[in-house]
């Protein structure tokens, strides 16, 4: 089985500024492979939906995934 990595990205909601976390699975461990992605995020607090790019995340974590 090919290696997989989970990328967890933490954004600030553009409306209420509370955290919005999303994750992506990738074959690449480096940030660059995910950072170029266009994403639609939804705040679970104020329900705001917005479009952004992964590179705008406040934090970006990567972990090996079995």
CA torsion 51→54→55→59, rounded to 10°? 110
**Average of per-residue pLDDT values in the chain:** 94
Question: Which tens digits make up the pLDDT trace of 52-65?
Answer: 999 999 999 999 99
Cβ pair 30, 55 in contact under 8 A: no
Cβ pair 7, 23 in contact under 8 A: yes
Measured CA to CA, the distance from residue 52 to residue 39 in angstroms comes to 5
Q: What is the pLDDT of residue 48?
A: 98
Measured CA to CA, the distance from residue 12 to residue 17 in angstroms comes to 5
Question: Which tens digits make up the pLDDT trace of 21-32?
Answer: 999 999 999 988
Q: pTM score, two decimals?
A: 0.86
């Amino acid at each position: 089985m090919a290696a997989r990595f989970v990328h967890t990205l933490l954004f600030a909601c553009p409306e209420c500024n509370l955290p919005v976390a999303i994750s992506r699975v990738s074959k690449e461990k480096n940030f660059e492979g995910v950072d170029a992605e266009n994403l639609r995020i939804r705040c679970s607090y104020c329900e705001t939906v917005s479009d952004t790019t992964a590179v705008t995340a406040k934090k970006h974590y990567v972990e090996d995934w079995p």
